[in-house]
Structures are given as structure tokens and as C-alpha cells.
């Protein structure tokens, strides 16, 4: 019900925005929300949009996810890549990343709304990520050339001479678990629970400065504008044209998004006819929210934040259910392709993990709490040999438990 | 990679609703869930009795002959028995092209195609199987170590000369390992084929023919999806598109079918193309007689596209593909290296029929696609 009312506010605001735009004779310019076609905002002829730090972290995460599949890496090297320090040569010949002050780990489970007080969970979550790296190095890398079976780590090849998947004794492909969990732990958490939250947007003198058009020293943006852009960057920071990021997010299989994280899966969910339009809904909300900040219409801004929170959360949940259903289908086949099934379920594991970072539009809570998420993961991995023992029935139960927290069905997400 | 999956998409739902609400269709209220009055059972009967079962029958006979040739070669490994075995392999491989599309019933249950014709094979794994003598050919992880592709390597790829190949089965320290492996591969192919043929003959034929409704699990919906899936993935992509680099951006000349034999890849492609067109036209296996088919179904519905009969457009496109492919080298691998443009142009002709079959035809006969592109990651 509250979602509906928020949407109403958004719609009404949109109508007002429309009216104010079309009647520019009597309204003062400062009262208008001028919404551009692309995510292009300028002050004094210079772009006021900036989110380089997000692009950097997406690049770092991409490289790290790739190195998790390189069995010559050591734990220390991978840890350093995860928790990069300025000047350390963690990223090979990429001088820009090496020189960067940014790191992935420091922003994992680090949003103001969720983790500024709850430092216990924040620490535990970082430990989870550290643990996946450690287990990949300790348990999977040494068995790189051994064939995996129930209770035995190693590689497992997909059907038709397909890809080799490198899995733990319990069937988990940890590089997938890590990457998909980062979608929640880094991207969604930072965007939804940090930068789109009032605590960050309106911190200190942000409102006053934005009202007065006081820019950050040496920059062409106000702090509030910048914070909003940083949320945008976690979705669209890898786009070639950052003002028009939907160019590579379409409705068919031709477009693939611009990274292996939120951009990619926003594209994938948008490809599903049950969810077509979600990408433009999210993009438009970012754009209108940013325009609302320029126009100092903070209620409109917050209504857009609510839309983004709801829809980005939905992307994560849809993919969690999708992979569980794909895994279920693979396990039900007359000839079981374990490598393909476990690949899907490992991606599913990461998306389930990411659910604890989702955000209901009308409250300060996720759609599924950390303990609920842990409960689902325990169900998934409860057998002695983990995924080797999971049944289609259990996968269905978990799928339904997730879907019922959202406004879609298992069937809609599963196709 | 493309995977088959069951979907009841919104598109299907829309078509379904359109079908229910449109009463300007004179063929309404038929036996097919109110969609049209075409006799689907007659079509299924023609497919089973005159196409699929005779094709599997012939294939099974050729596999039996392959088994005999293998046995001869393993008993007396010499050049003339190698040549004879190789010929049996080519004959069976050619027959395979006519059954590859029928991955339904027992073939689907056994995942027949994936155990018969995955290529390229992984030579290092084949060699390690030969060396160790221990392998489980029933595992899906071993699909690139068996079937026609593995035989291709073992009969054509071990050496440049027949004498050199024969040495692997005679003087090689592990000659017995090679003999055992090639025998095991052929025995498995024989076993799988016999199971599928026996199933068609002992009950599945009736199950197939009588499942003549129009749901997503009806025989027609399934076989038409199998046909188009085979056309897209195992014909268009596997035989031409992948080697031509359509999906990778770089030509991959080692990914052709029968890579080690070199000069039969075009012939296998042509046989497959003819089999697909014959299926569309309901042409009886190894005969000039035709029966009820997708073509007659489209003609019954009087399906027109751009002022032409859709069935004619589809047949014209099959012919255009044949004409373009006629100029290809007998060795498609060589074609990729010498003039890949011709491969790409062939692919383009094949792709045009994907649109006619998958979009226009399926829309006309109210069948929805039950597979999608997979993740690819």
C-alpha cells in the first residue's frame, strides 16, 4: 500500500513537473524541474556530473573476479586486490587503478543507512568475502586439474564439451559466489542505502549548499548532486556513453550491459518480457531525481529514490529466482549436467546473498534480512555435500520464499 | 550457447488470447484447441512412419556396419581395414545428418546428440582416456571425448598417413589402449542408437502420434521446436557460423565438423541441409513421395508473407542456401582459411530462413518457441 502511495506521489510530482515545464510564463525558473533527455547536467557550461570513483571500483571488481579464476594467484595478492591501497601495484599495468585511493573492500557492506551502526554485520560480511577468496585459493586452486565429484573439489566440465567450472567439494563456484554477492554487497548497498539515503544526501550543510548553489571547492557540482551521481555510477559507471547508458541495455539478446554486475543483470531482467521497461524506469528515476535536486524539489528526489530502490531490489531478486529455477531444471533433466547446474546455483547463491542489501522503498529495511538470507543459504547448502545433495523441491521452496517477498511470481522470474 | 527450456512466455499468452478472440478465421474450432482445423495427427503420422523411424532404421543399420568394420580393424589392424572402417564411419556420419533433428522421446532422454556428435573434441582428454583405460563414457563431462568427432580423430587425426595411423593400433606401446577405446566408443554409439530405435518401434510411435494437441508439450510443438533448434544451433551455427567466426569475431577453422578427415565437412553440411528441407516438405525418407508436413500446414492456412506463399518463400530460401553453399570447398576448414567471406555469405542465407521459420511459420501455426539464448558466462 505504501509503495502505491509513493508511486502516486511520484506520478503526481511528475504531473506537476510537466505542468510547471509547460507553463514557463508564470513560474520562476528555480521552481521548474528541467529533465534532460540524457543524464546530462551542467553548471556554467561545464558538466556537473561526476562518479569516477564508481567506475574505478567496477573496474577493480571486474579484474578481481577474473583473477579468482587464475589458479596461479595467491591469497595475499587477491586480498590486496580486494582491499587496494593507493600506489600498490595490485592491478598489473593499469597505472590508474594502482594509483587510485579507492578500494572495493572498504565499500563492501559499508552504507550509512545499514552499516554505520551495525558494524558487527559489516565485519561479518567482509569476512564472508575474505573467506570466499581464501577457500578458492586453499580448496579449489590446488585441485585445478582434478575432476570434481560429490565431496571432492576440482573442475567439472559442462555438456557438449562446454566450459570447465571450478568448484569446491560442496559444488560451489566461488568466483561466481563472490562476484554475484558483490552486486548486493558493493553496488546495491552503496547506491540504495548510502547515496540515495537522506543521511548522505542531506548530511551537514548539503541542503543549504544545494539551495544556494554552493559548489564543492574546485568542482562544478554541489555535494548533494555528487552523491546522487555516485549512486548512478554504481549502475551505469561502466557505460561507454555515461549520459546514455541504456544504449547497451535492451530488450533482446544483442545487448549485454556494460559490466558483469548491475548493468549486465539489469539488461538480463529487462530482456524478460515480464519485466521489460525496468531499465528505463530506473534510468528515468535517476534522471528525474537528479533534475529535482537541481530544482531543489527534494520530495520529488525522494520519490525517485524510492522507485530506484524498489526496482534495483527487484533485479536482484528476479535473478536469484531465475538461477534457482535454472539449476532446478538442470537437476531434473534425464541426463544431469552437474557443471551447468552448479554454475547456475552458484550465481543464485550470490544473488540470494545480495538480497540482504536490497531496500524496501518505504522503510529502512531490506526485503530479506541477513538472517533470512542465511536461512535460505543454509537450506541450499544443508546436504553433507552441499549442492550435490540439493533437491529440486528445496530449490522450489527457496524460490517461492524469495518471490513472495516481492511482487512477481516464480514463473515470471524463472523464464 | 543456446539452451532448450520450457517457457510459457507472454508472447505465447498474447497469441493464445488473439487465437481465442479472433473469429474471422474460417479454420477456427478445429481439433487443435480451437486454433485451426488442420489434421495435426496426419502430419505427426507422416513424420513418425515415413521420416523419423525409417531414418533411424537406416542410421542403426549403418552403425551396425560401423561396429562390424571396427571389429575387423581391431582384429586385423592394417591399412585396408582402416580404409574400410573409415568408409563405414563416413556412411554412418552421413546417415546421422537425417536423425540429428529428432531429439525427442528416448533420444531426448538419453541426450543422444550430445553423446554422438559434439565437436571439436578435446584431444588431450581422449589421449588421457586411452592411456589410463579408465573412463565413464556415460558422464556428460565426457561428451567431447566420444561419438563421431572422437572417431574422426582416431581414424584420421593420429597421423598424416594411413600407415602412420595403423601404427597406433599395432606397434604403438599402447596399441591395445587405442583398440579398446575405439571399440568402446562404437559400442556405446551402437547401444544408444538401438535404444532409440527400439523405443520408437515399441510404443513411442503411438505416443508421439496421439499427442496431437496444441499445448507446449504436444508432439507437434515439440518436434517443430526441435527442428528449428537443430536448424539454428546444430546446423547453421555449428557447421557454418562458429567456424566462420560469426559469434567470436575471429574465424575458427578447427571447429568444423569432421575436422581431421578434412574433405567431408561440406558433404555432411549438404546432407543435413537436404534433410531439413525434406522434413519441412514432408518428404518420405529415401523417397520422392511427400505427405503432410509443415509446408502443407502453412498452405492449408494459406499463409502469405509479402504477397507470397510462406512455404514457397521458405523453400526458395533453402534453395538459395544450397546455391550459395555449392561454391564452398569440400573442406570447410580450408574454406575458412582461403576465403571466409563465402562462409559468411552462406551463413547469411541460412539466417534468412531462421526468420521465416522461427517467426513467420511459428506464428502461423500457433507454436511458441521453447528455448532461449543462455547466459553465456
The pLDDT value recorded for residue B9 is 40
| CB within 8 Å: B108 and A334 | yes
Among A239, A274, A272, A235, CA closest to A253: A272
The pLDDT value recorded for residue B238 is 97
Nearest Cβ partner for B140 among A268, A329, A335: A335
The pLDDT value recorded for residue B254 is 97
Max Cα–Cα distance, chain B, nearest Å: 76
Q: Would the pLDDT of A54 be above 90?
A: yes
Q: Based on the number of CB atoms within 10 Å of its own CB, is A295 exposed (0-12), middle (13-18) or buried (19 or more)?
A: buried
Query: In Å, how far are A153, A168, A327, A384, B282 from A150, measured between CA atoms?
Result: 8, 9, 16, 9, 47
**Which chain A residue has its CA at the smallest distance from B106's CA?**
A334
| CB within 8 Å: A334 and B141 | no
Region A101-113: mean pLDDT is 97
Task: State the Cα–Cα distance between residues A147 and A358, nearest whole angstrom.
Answer: 37
Q: How many domains does chain B have?
A: 1
Q: Would the pLDDT of A14 be above 80?
A: no
For residue B281, give the CATH number of its domain: 1.20.1420.20
Read off the pLDDT band of B183 (50, 70, 90).
Answer: very high
Region B280-295: mean pLDDT is 98
Decide if B115 is inside a domain.
yes
Q: Which domain holds residue B220?
A: 27-373
Decide if B345 is inside a domain.
yes
The pLDDT value recorded for residue B35 is 72
**Per-residue model confidence as pLDDT tens digits over B273-287:** 999 999 999 999 999
**Which chain B residue has its CA at the smallest distance from A145's CA?**
B125
**Which chain A residue has its CA at the smallest distance from B111's CA?**
A335
Decide if B242 is inside a domain.
yes
Q: Would the pLDDT of B3 be above 70?
A: no
Q: Which cell is B374 given? A: 543462455
Decide if B1 is inside a domain.
no
The pLDDT value recorded for residue A32 is 75
Name the interface residues of B facing A (CB cutoff 8 Å).
1, 5-11, 108-111, 114, 118-122, 140-141, 143-144, 372-373, 375, 377
Decide if B8 is inside a domain.
no
* Structural element, H or E, at residue A188: none
Q: Which cell is B155 given? A: 581414424
Decide if B16 is inside a domain.
no
Chain B residues whose beta carbon lies within 8 Å of the beta carbon of residue A413: none
Q: Would the pLDDT of B324 be above 50?
A: yes
* Structural element, H or E, at residue A167: strand A164-167
| CB within 8 Å: B111 and A335 | yes
**Per-residue model confidence as pLDDT tens digits over A362-392:** 899 999 999 999 999 999 999 999 999 999 9
Task: State the Cα–Cα distance between residues A390 and A171, nearest whole angstrom.
Answer: 10
Read off the pLDDT band of B13 (50, 70, 90).
Answer: very low
| CB within 8 Å: A273 and B10 | yes
Decide if B233 is inside a domain.
yes
* Structural element, H or E, at residue B348: helix B332-354
Task: State the Cα–Cα distance between residues A226 and B227, nearest whole angstrom.
Answer: 54
Q: By the CB < 8 Å criterion, does A334 face chain B?
A: yes
**Per-residue model confidence as pLDDT tens digits over A279-293:** 999 999 999 999 999
Chain B residues whose beta carbon lies within 8 Å of the beta carbon of residue A329: 5-6
**pLDDT averaged over chain A?**
92
The pLDDT value recorded for residue A107 is 97
Task: State the Cα–Cα distance between residues B73 and B81, nearest whole angstrom.
Answer: 5
**Per-residue model confidence as pLDDT tens digits over B63-76:** 999 999 999 999 99
User: Which of B106, B121, B138, B139 is best to mutate for the A interface (most A CBs within 10 A)?
Assistant: B139
| CB within 8 Å: A415 and B9 | yes
- Looking at this predicted complex, what is its ipTM? 0.78
Nearest Cβ partner for B373 among A159, A253, A337: A253
Decide if B314 is inside a domain.
yes
Amino acid at each position: 500500500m505504501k509503495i502505491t502511495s509513493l508511486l502516486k506521489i511520484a506520478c503526481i510530482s511528475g504531473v506537476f513537473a510537466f505542468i510547471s515545464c509547460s507553463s514557463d510564463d508564470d513560474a520562476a525558473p528555480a521552481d521548474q524541474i528541467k529533465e534532460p533527455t540524457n543524464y546530462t547536467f551542467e553548471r556554467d557550461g561545464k558538466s556537473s556530473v561526476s562518479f569516477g570513483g564508481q567506475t574505478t571500483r567496477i573496474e577493480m571488481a571486474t579484474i578481481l573476479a577474473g583473477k579468482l579464476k587464475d589458479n596461479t594467484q595467491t591469497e595475499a595478492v587477491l586480498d590486496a586486490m580486494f582491499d587496494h591501497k593507493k600506489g600498490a601495484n595490485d592491478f598489473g599495468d593499469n597505472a590508474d587503478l594502482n594509483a587510485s585511493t579507492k578500494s572495493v573492500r572498504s565499500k563492501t557492506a559499508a552504507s550509512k543507512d545499514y552499516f554505520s551502526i551495525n558494524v558487527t554485520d559489516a565485519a561479518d560480511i567482509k569476512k564472508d568475502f575474505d573467506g570466499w577468496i581464501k577457500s578458492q585459493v586453499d580448496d579449489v586452486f590446488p585441485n585445478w586439474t582434478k575432476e570434481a565429484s560429490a565431496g571432492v573439489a576440482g573442475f567439472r566440465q559442462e555438456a557438449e564439451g562446454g566450459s570447465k567450472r571450478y568448484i569446491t567439494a560442496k559444488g560451489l563456484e566461488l568466483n561466481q559466489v563472490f562476484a554475484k554477492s558483490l552486486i548486493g554487497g558493493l553496488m546495491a548497498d552503496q547506491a540504495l542505502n548510502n547515496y540515495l539515503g537522506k543521511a548522505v544526501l542531506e548530511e551537514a550543510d548539503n541542503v543549504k549548499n544545494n539551495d544556494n548553489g554552493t559548489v564543492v571547492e574546485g568542482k562544478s557540482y554541489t555535494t548533494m548532486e555528487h552523491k546522487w551521481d555516485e549512486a548512478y555510477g554504481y549502475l551505469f559507471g561502466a557505460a561507454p556513453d555515461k549520459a546514455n547508458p541504456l544504449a547497451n541495455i535492451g530488450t533482446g539478446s544483442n545487448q549485454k550491459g556494460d559490466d558483469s554486475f548491475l548493468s549486465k543483470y539489469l539488461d538480463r531482467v529487462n530482456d524478460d518480457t515480464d519485466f521489460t521497461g525496468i531499465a528505463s524506469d530506473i534510468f528515468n528515476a535517476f534522471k528525474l531525481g537528479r533534475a529535482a535536486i537541481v530544482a531543489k524539489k527534494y520530495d520529488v528526489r525522494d520519490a525517485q529514490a524510492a522507485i530506484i530502490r524498489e526496482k534495483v531490489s527487484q533485479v536482484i531478486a528476479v535473478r536469484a529466482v531465475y538461477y534457482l529455477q535454472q539449476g532446478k531444471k538442470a537437476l531434473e533433466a534425464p541426463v544431469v549436467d552437474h557443471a551447468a547446474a552448479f554454475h547456475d546455483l552458484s550465481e543464485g547463491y550470490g544473488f540470494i546473498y545480495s538480497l540482504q542489501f536490497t531496500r524496501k522503498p518505504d522503510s529502512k529495511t531490506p526485503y530479506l534480512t541477513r538472517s533470512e538470507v542465511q536461512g535460505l543459504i543454509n537450506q541450499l547448502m544443508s546436504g553433507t555435500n552441499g549442492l550435490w545433495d540439493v533437491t529440486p523441491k528445496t530449490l522450489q521452496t527457496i524460490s517461492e520464499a524469495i518471490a513472495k517477498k516481492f511482487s512477481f511470481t516464480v514463473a515470471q522470474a524463472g523464464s | 550457447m543456446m539452451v532448450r527450456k520450457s517457457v510459457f512466455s507472454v508472447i505465447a499468452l498474447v497469441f493464445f488470447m488473439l487465437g481465442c478472440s479472433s473469429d474471422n478465421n474460417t479454420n477456427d474450432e478445429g481439433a487443435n484447441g480451437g486454433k485451426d482445423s488442420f489434421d495435426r495427427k496426419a502430419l505427426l503420422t507422416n513424420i513418425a512412419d515415413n521420416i523419423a523411424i525409417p531414418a533411424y532404421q537406416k542410421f542403426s543399420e549403418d552403425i551396425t556396419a560401423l561396429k562390424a568394420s571396427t571389429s575387423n580393424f581391431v582384429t586385423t589392424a592394417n591399412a585396408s581395414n582402416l580404409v574400410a572402417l573409415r568408409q563405414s564411419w563416413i556412411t554412418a556420419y552421413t546417415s546421422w545428418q537425417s536423425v540429428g533433428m529428432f531429439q525427442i522421446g528416448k533420444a531426448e532422454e538419453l541426450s543422444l546428440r550430445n553423446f554422438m556428435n559434439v565437436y571439436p573434441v578435446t584431444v588431450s582428454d581422449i589421449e588421457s582416456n586411452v592411456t589410463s583405460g579408465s573412463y565413464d563414457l556415460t558422464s556428460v563431462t565426457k561428451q567431447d571425448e566420444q561419438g563421431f568427432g572422437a572417431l574422426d580423430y582416431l581414424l584420421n587425426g593420429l597421423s598424416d598417413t594411413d600407415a602412420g595411423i595403423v601404427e597406433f593400433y599395432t606397434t604403438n606401446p599402447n596399441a591395445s589402449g587405442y583398440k579398446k577405446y575405439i571399440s568402446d566408443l562404437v559400442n556405446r554409439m551402437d547401444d544408444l542408437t538401438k535404444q532409440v530405435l527400439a523405443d520408437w518401434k515399441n510404443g513411442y510411435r503411438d505416443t508421439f502420434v496421439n499427442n496431437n494437441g496444441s499445448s507446449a508439450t504436444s508432439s507437434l510443438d515439440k518436434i517443430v521446436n526441435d527442428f528449428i533448434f537443430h536448424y539454428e544451433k546444430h546446423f547453421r551455427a555449428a557447421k557454418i557460423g562458429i567456424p566462420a567466426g560469426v559469434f567470436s569475431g575471429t574465424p575458427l577453422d578447427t571447429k568444423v565438423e569432421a575436422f581431421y578427415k578434412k574433405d567431408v565437412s561440406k558433404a555432411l553440411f549438404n546432407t543435413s541441409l537436404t534433410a531439413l528441407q525434406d522434413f519441412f516438405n514432408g518428404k518420405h525418407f529415401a523417397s520422392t513421395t511427400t505427405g503432410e508436413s509443415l509446408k502443407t500446414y502453412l498452405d492449408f492456412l494459406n499463409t502469405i508473407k509479402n504477397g507470397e506463399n510462406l512455404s514457397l518463400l521458405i523453400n526458395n530460401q533453402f534453395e538459395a542456401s544450397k546455391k550459395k553453399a555449392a561454391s564452398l570447398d569440400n573442406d570447410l576448414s580450408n574454406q575458412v582459411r582461403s576465403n571466409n567471406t563465402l562462409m559468411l555469405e552462406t551463413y547469411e542465407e541460412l539466417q534468412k530462413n531462421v526468420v521465416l521459420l522461427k517467426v513467420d511459420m511459428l506464428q502461423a501455426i500457433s507454436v511458441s518457441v521453447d528455448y532461449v539464448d543462455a547466459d553465456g558466462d
